[in-house]
Every structure is written in C-alpha cells, then in structure tokens.
C-alpha cells in the first residue's frame, strides 16, 4: 500500500479549494451564514458523508451524523476562527457529531435534526448531497480494501481514510482528530503518523491472510 504525500500534491487543486473557501468566508462576513453553509456543504458534503459511512460502518448512524454535522456547521460558521481550513474543520465537526451519537444512544432515538429556520437552501443542498453520494457509497463500500479497513479499530480506520483517501496533511489530520493527550499540533501529528504506520502494517497482514496480491 503506497502512501502519497498530500503536501506535494496538486497545488492547483489546493488553490482552487482555498479560493472557494474564501467565498464561504466572504458570505459569513456579509452576514449570509445560510448561503455560506450551503456552499460549504456543496463543496465538502459528499466527501464528509463518505467519511462518516466509512467510519460509522452503519448507514443509518452515518446519515444521522451527517444531519448533525450539517446543523453544527450552519450554527458554527459565524464563530469559526479560520485557524484551520474549512475542509479540516468540517471533518472535525463530522467526527464530533458521530462521537456524540455513539456516546448517547438515546440521542439517536430522539434526534430529528431540522436545519434552522431560514436555511431552506442548506436543507436542499444536504438532500442533494445525500442523493448524489449514497448510491456510489453503497457500491464502493463493497470492495475488498474497505472490508479490510473495517477490521481495524475505528480511530485507525478514520486515520487511513483521511490520509490515503482524502490526502490530508498530518497537521490537518491532527486538527481533525484531536486527542486528549494535551499535545500541540506538531507532536500530535507525529504521534498520528506513527499510528498510521502501525495501521498500514496491520492492513498488510490482513491482506496477506486473505490471499490478496497487493494492497493499494
């Protein structure tokens, strides 16, 4: 399994993302938080929903977490400090939404998230993302590599998705997957990188045990 370094990736793609994220920021500054949230979810909703499906391993739970994520994003944009990218913050919101639902099963039973009043455009974008993404995910999650990843610990699985599939930098991953160890971003990134190497080793062992020729 070959790791590609996000830091030396597609500069043009990163520049385009930065420009679109600035558009979100401009809308927030103009007091148009609903439009800003709709644009943010249009940009990153599909990949965030895919991340939630990969980590939750439960379509219903992932769907509920995506609803909570969307509401949290809408409510939080005005106070977002932009000390990380919008993409990174979105993954942190999604992970936190999923963890909250897992910690409190009763929240799932009573959770019926409806986006705030005046956010019809946001609700429409959320549904568009679901409609466009779910058929693809239901096919994609059947491939062998994803079944192998499902055998890993959830946090290791999340780490692999963010690094390999999303090609995020180690610092962004450290911000998206914060720990309770009090480490700063650089030290947390180094810790996660070591954990990533262990997870890759385990994934190779699982692939060998199932008779696969390669794991990419």
Residue ranges covered by each domain of the chain? 9-141, 143-216
Architecture of domain 143-216: Orthogonal Bundle (1.10)
Rounded Cα–Cα distance for residues 77 and 180 (Å):
24
The separation between CA 49 and the C-alpha centre of its own chain, rounded to angstroms, equals: 7
pLDDT on residue 120: 61
Rounded Cα–Cα distance for residues 78 and 26 (Å):
11
Q: Name the maximum alpha-carbon separation found in the chain.
A: 57
Rounded Cα–Cα distance for residues 44 and 98 (Å):
17
Rounded Cα–Cα distance for residues 18 and 25 (Å):
10
Average pLDDT across each block of 10 residues of the chain; the chain has 216 residues. List them in order: 47 83 96 94 94 88 94 95 95 95 70 52 87 74 68 88 92 88 87 93 76 42
pLDDT on residue 215: 35
Smallest CA-to-CA distance from 154 within 47, 54, 48 is with 54
Tell me the backbone φ, ψ of residue 196, rounded to 5 degrees.
-60, -45
- Measured CA distances, 175 to 1, 127, 204 (Å): 25, 28, 27
Residue 211 falls in which region: left (phi positive, over 0), alpha (psi -120 to 50) or beta: left
Rounded Cα–Cα distance for residues 189 and 97 (Å):
22
| pTM higher than 0.95 | no
Rounded Cα–Cα distance for residues 40 and 4 (Å):
26
| Span between the terminal Cα atoms of the chain, in Å | 4
Rounded Cα–Cα distance for residues 61 and 102 (Å):
9
Task: Report the b/e string of 92-126 with b at 16+ CB within 10 A.
Answer: bbbbbbbeebeeeeeeeeeeeeebeeebebbbebb
Contact predicate 16/23, CB 8 Å: no
């Amino acid at each position: 399994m070959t790791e590609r370094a996000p830091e030396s990736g597609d500069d043009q793609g990163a520049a385009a993302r930065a420009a679109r994220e600035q558009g979100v920021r401009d809308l927030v500054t103009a007091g148009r938080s609903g439009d800003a949230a709709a644009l943010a979810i249009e940009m990153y909703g599909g990949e965030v929903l895919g991340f939630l499906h990969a980590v939750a391993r439960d379509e219903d739970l992932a769907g509920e977490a995506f609803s909570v994520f969307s509401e949290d994003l809408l409510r939080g944009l005005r106070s977002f400090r932009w000390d990380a990218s919008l993409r990174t913050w979105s993954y942190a919101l999604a992970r936190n939404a999923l963890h909250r639902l897992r910690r409190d099963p009763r929240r799932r039973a009573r959770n019926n998230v409806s986006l705030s009043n005046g956010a019809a455009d946001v609700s429409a974008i959320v549904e568009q993302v679901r409609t466009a993404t779910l058929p693809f995910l239901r096919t994609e999650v059947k491939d062998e590599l994803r079944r192998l990843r499902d055998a890993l610990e959830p946090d290791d699985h999340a780490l692999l998705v963010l690094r390999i599939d999303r090609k995020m930098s180690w610092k962004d991953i450290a911000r998206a997957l914060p720990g309770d160890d009090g480490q700063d971003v650089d030290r947390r990134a180094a810790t996660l990188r070591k954990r990533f190497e262990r997870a890759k080793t385990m994934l190779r062992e699982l692939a060998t045990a199932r008779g696969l020729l390669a794991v990419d």
